[in-house]
Amino acid sequence: MRRIFAIALATFIVATACTSSTPPATGTGSGAPAAGSPVAGGRIIYGIAAEITGLQPLLSGVGADEVVWGQLYPRLMQNNPDTGVLGPGLAERLEQSADGLTLTFHLRKDVKWSDGVPFTGEDYKYSVEATIRAKAPIRKPVFSRVVGFQDYNEGKTDSLAGLQVSADGMTVTIRLSSALCTAARSLVSAGGGVLPKHHFVKDWNNKTTDLTKSIDSSPLNNAPPASLGPWVFKEWQKGVQVTLTKNPNYWRGAPLLDEYIVKSYANDAAVKAALLTGEITFAYTIPTDVEEIQKTAGNKLALSRATVASNYNYLGWNLKSPKAPWLASKDVRQALWYGLNVKAIIDKVQLGYATQMFSHYPKQSFVYEPTGLKTYDFNPATAKSLLEKAGAKMGADGVYVWSNGQPMAMRLEGGQGASALMQVATEQYKAIGIKIEPIVQTGPVLTARLDPTQVDHEGHAGGWFISPDPDSAWIFFNAAQQNKGNFNWVHYENADVTKLLDQGRFGPDCTDATRKTLYQQVNKMLNEDAPYTWLWQPESLMFHSTALQGFSQKPYGLTTSGETWDWNAEKLWLRK
């Protein structure tokens, strides 16, 4: 559940670290095959190293919260767990006009809320309007391009003009004021998930123009009254756990299990202890704990492995660093890649539980194309020749000297979890004549130091959780994303990349085929420019009770919380 903490912290993660061990065989996402015939009943407990702070998607930006509300208030469409492509969910299909300005969702007709009330487009409309009028503006900007947003936001109208629901409630049409290729993915969320209008409307009516009223203070926010997901809210013991029971009206079929509990723990160590004592049924784990858990738990726990597409680790280089001006040179950045034995680091730091990466997009992405990507195989000689080509000369002490006479020494900053990576990188860079000073920082300090408004940093070890949409590169590598709070931390400015990213985001051609071409070019340019030294996609590791059947992980989660196991929650069952 490290991922949930990470999402809360601006989705910035730090690389995990550990000591050497024998690398395991490469695995793919699969759990133990179901044994015997499924039986109904039982309770599963999911341990997470994070606290649940709220159950109202409109108001909460905390990733751990989505682990719960994502099961109650699903989005209109869901990620295909294997490809990440947006697929059917509450909506059977989506149509988008040629100009990209009109989106039409066709809803399933057989969907009911857990209390038996039919689901309609009015629930979606209510949720969107509640988001726009919410006092907490966390999710509001998602709808800023919908026609009539400003008027509804300012209370001039009692309905969002650009969002129409058909008379039978089964078709939702959304008109945008300007094209946004990522609109479909953003708009399916309805500000997080779809709320049951028939309950919430008693606390806040979406027809009001009184801006002093909002859904923010509804007592139902933390006591979800009805669900469209596999589970129904039962109880929330604050700081301890949330208990959910099965939804007999779930449109994919009622879950086999009776109860699902999400239990909060203070940290990964507490989750591990709970796994070992059998207090919880399943949880994420980290590479360094795998061996110990397997030895201690014996055949009580099974390991599920999956190469997920949602996150990667990297070393980032500040192209505008005044203390390390050589980082502006592409040759130097490529040398830093050639000088790093990434495969050896994966074996040492990730204990083999990772797949090497060469640019921003993971292999599972529909835009990934390996042709033309440099693999930067470890080659110290090439690294040194690139450094010399860039103007560096070897100094008497074995450290290269830059053309301005400055020794090529710099800081590499990262979180506690990246300390092993930074240590190994320091040793390897020393071998090619670059001196590194590894510095461990706390997450908030590191995030503040790397803000685009700051340039007093050279290198950092980090990781990102990325959306299945290829637009994910826009915030990290678009030259315009260098304001306070933005994420182009390395100050990367390539006009071609920025133009391609803008075209991929704003159109005019938002078709998958065109976007695929654009992002493939972006991927190659990033691979060539090397603003990051891309390292690996970590495997998602989960331990689960061997009694739990049908459990496995997929590369993409159904929700944005990063969960990789909940794609078939209704089919999980416990062996008696």
Partner 1 sequence: MGRFIARRLVQAIPTIFGIMIITFALTRLSPSDPVTIMLGNNPDLTEEDREELREKLGLNDPLPVQFVRYVGDTARLDFGTSFRHNRPAIEVIGERLPNSLQLSVASLLLAIVVSVPLGLIAGVKRGRIADQAIRGVSVLLHAVPLFFLGLLFVLVFGVGLGWFPVGSMNVIGESCFFCWDRVWHMAGPVIIGATGGIAFIPRVLRTEVLEILGQDFVRTARSKGLRERVVLARHVFRNALIPIVTLFGGILTILLGGSVIIEQVFNWPGLGRLLFDAANSKDYPLVQASVLIGSLLLVVSYILRDLAYAWVDPRIKAG
**Considering beta carbons, is residue 11 or 329 the nearer one to partner 1?**
11
**Considering beta carbons, is residue 268 or 570 the nearer one to partner 1?**
268
**Considering beta carbons, is residue 242 or 306 the nearer one to partner 1?**
242
Q: Which residues pair with 306 in a beta bridge?
A: 540
Phi (first) and psi of residue 7, to 5 degrees: -65, -40
**Considering beta carbons, is residue 251 or 476 the nearer one to partner 1?**
476
Q: How far apart are CA 508 and CA 238, in angstroms?
A: 47
Using the contact rule CB under 8 A, the part of the chain among 70-78, 89-97, 170-178, 438-446 near partner 1 is 438-446
Q: How far apart are CA 389 and CA 322, in angstroms?
A: 21
Residues 244-263 that bind partner 1 (CB under 8 A): 261, 263
β strands within 372-491, DSSP E: 393-394, 400-401, 409-414, 435-440, 459-465
Residues 135-194 that bind partner 1 (CB under 8 A): 135-138, 140-142, 144, 182, 186
Q: How far apart are CA 284 and CA 447, in angstroms?
A: 24
> What's the distance, CA 411 to chain centroid?
28
Q: Which residues pair with 23 in a beta bridge?
A: none
Q: Which residues pair with 264 in a beta bridge?
A: 48
Helix (H) or strand (E) holding 414: strand 409-414
**Considering beta carbons, is residue 239 or 253 the nearer one to partner 1?**
239
Q: How far apart are CA 282 and CA 40, in angstroms?
A: 19
Query: What mask, x for binding partner 1 by CB under 8 A, covers residues 446 to 485?
Result: -xxx-x------------x------xx-xx-------xxx
Strands 43-48 and 259-264: parallel
Applying CB under 8 A, among 42, 54, 192, 531 the residue interacting with partner 1 is 54
- Asked if 416 touches partner 1 (CB under 8 A), the answer is no
Helix (H) or strand (E) holding 69: helix 63-69
| Residue 310 Cβ vs partner 1, minimum distance, rounded to whole Å | 13
Using the contact rule CB under 8 A, the part of the chain among 81-89, 195-203, 276-284, 491-499 near partner 1 is 276-284
Task: With CA atoms as reference, report the closest residue to 303 among 24, 492, 2.
Answer: 24
Applying CB under 8 A, among 1, 7, 77, 390 the residue interacting with partner 1 is 7
- Asked if 270 touches partner 1 (CB under 8 A), the answer is yes
| Residue 475 Cβ vs partner 1, minimum distance, rounded to whole Å | 5
| Residue 375 Cβ vs partner 1, minimum distance, rounded to whole Å | 28
**Considering beta carbons, is residue 141 or 398 the nearer one to partner 1?**
141
Q: Is the dihedral of CA 449, 452, 453, 456 positive or negative?
A: positive
For residue 127, what are its two tokens? 């949720």
| Residue 18 Cβ vs partner 1, minimum distance, rounded to whole Å | 18
Q: How far apart are CA 397 and CA 399, in angstroms?
A: 6
Angle at 192 between CA 191 and CA 195, to 5 degrees: 85
Helix (H) or strand (E) holding 288: helix 287-297
Query: What mask, x for binding partner 1 by CB under 8 A, covers residues 10 to 39?
Result: xxx---------------------------
Applying CB under 8 A, among 80, 166, 209, 296 the residue interacting with partner 1 is 296
Applying CB under 8 A, among 23, 27, 51, 455 the residue interacting with partner 1 is 51
Question: Total binding residues for partner 1 by CB under 8 A?
Answer: 66
Residue position matching structure tokens 């026609």: 147
Task: With CA atoms as reference, report the closest residue to 280 among 264, 291, 294.
Answer: 264
- Asked if 101 touches partner 1 (CB under 8 A), the answer is no
Applying CB under 8 A, among 46, 113, 487, 519 the residue interacting with partner 1 is 487
Task: Give helix 268-276 / helix 287-297 axis angle, nearest 10°.
Answer: 20
Contact 278, 492 (CB under 8 A): no
Query: What mask, x for binding partner 1 by CB under 8 A, covers residues 309 to 348?
Result: ----------------------------------------
| Residue 56 Cβ vs partner 1, minimum distance, rounded to whole Å | 7
Contact 229, 568 (CB under 8 A): no
The footprint of partner 1 (CB under 8 A) covers 7-12, 43, 45, 51, 53-54, 56, 59-62, 135-138, 140-142, 144, 182, 186, 216, 221-222, 237-241, 261, 263-267, 269-270, 273-274, 276-277, 279, 296, 443-445, 447-449, 451, 464, 471-472, 474-475, 483-487, 505
